[in-house]
Amino acid sequence: MWDFEIGRSVSIMIRTWPFIVFRMIVYFGITLAYIVATGSGASVGYGVGHISTDPDGPLSFALWGGIVGIGVVSIALYWIREYILYVVKAGHIAVMVHLIDGRDVPNGQDQIAYAKDVVKERFAEANILFVLDHLVKGAIRAITGLIGGIAAFLPIPGLGGLVAFINTVIRLSLTYVDEIILGYNIRINSSSPFETARQGVVLYAQNGKTMVKNAVWLAVIMWGVSFVIFLLMLAPAAAIMWFIPGQLGGWAFVLAILLAWAFKAAFIEPFAIACLMQVYFRTIEGQVPNAEWDQRLAEASSKFRELRDKALASFGGSRWTQPST
């Protein structure tokens, strides 16, 4: 089955409770912003809709008002995405990496300050981390095809449709690979984040079957838990919608999704990252990046080529041998 220890991941989450609380504040705050913006937009739209001669005017305007409210919050989130990545995600990963390696970390608010210093030491500016994260995400998309996807596990002829479906599941399961590579970057105290990320992606690819197997198992667990959370969130979402004018019961469904997303981002995501980092660090122990995989990734992904170019520029050349072309 899977190679991660659920109990150990839960223990890491408990020991990083300051970041769990921080995540709750950030992500439930985002959800609250969506709720307020949706409700305000719907209320304004409902009022404006009364000037329409159409009997359904208030409801139609309320619907569009809610959509505009969601759009405004989404635009705001786009502008603060670097801060969320730099402080919330990277900081939490830094603390989890040190705990996985058996290092002591502070408690309380000191833990957040400690993590911020670790991240700042590795990535002086938030935009560097953002660019790196973007390149790694792009490079990861090539891995599923290169390792043969599910065909590597089920070499059975005549199952093209099933294989395509399961390969889609595999691609969705690779959501947190960029966080794993970030953890690797922090773990080895790299002075060149682009070179380390390049090596981290190659190490992931050359151990793709092991990593994807665990990622798929974890994705199944997470989707199951997320669905249960969604069902539980329907009741409070419906209660919130009671205060929004008009017969807009469909918005309760949307709000339930937002609440489930906030819970997932605050609790389930760090659990998944802790599980996958366990597997990744254990699997790559003693390995070196395979130059052949480096070349295959470069041929398959423009983002990986860009990542490799930045890595080479930071050293004036690669620190490990590449195959001749």
Q: What does pTM read for this prediction?
A: 0.77
Residue type, 156: I
- Answer yes or no: is 161 within a domain: yes
Provide the residue range defining the domain that includes 43: 6-315
- Answer yes or no: is 324 within a domain: no
Give residue-wise pLDDT tens across range 129-171: 778 888 888 888 777 666 655 445 555 555 555 556 566 666 6
In degrees, rounded to 5, the angle at the alpha carbon of residue 286 between the alpha carbons of residues 284 and 292 is 65
- Answer yes or no: is 127 within a domain: yes
- Answer yes or no: is 325 within a domain: no
Q: Is 52 helix (H, G, I), strand (E, B) or coil?
A: coil
- Answer yes or no: is 184 within a domain: yes
- Greatest mean pLDDT among 46-55, 86-95, 149-158, 194-203 lies in 194-203
Question: In this predicted model, which residue has the larger pLDDT, 142 or 308?
Answer: 308
* 95's tokens: 């603390």
- Greatest mean pLDDT among 241-245, 248-252, 258-262, 300-304 lies in 300-304
Q: How many CA atoms does the CB half-sphere of 277 hold within 13 Å?
A: 29
pLDDT over 90, % of the chain: 10
* 127's tokens: 């935009």
- Answer yes or no: is 109 within a domain: yes
According to DSSP H, which parts of the chain are helical?
6-15, 17-48, 57-83, 90-100, 109-122, 126-146, 160-173, 177-187, 193-206, 208-241, 250-263, 269-283, 291-300, 302-315
Q: How many domains does the chain have?
A: 1
- Answer yes or no: is 321 within a domain: no
- Answer yes or no: is 222 within a domain: yes
**Would you say how long the chain is, in residues?**
325
Cα–Cα distance measured from residue 47 to residue 42, given in angstroms and rounded to the nearest whole number: 9
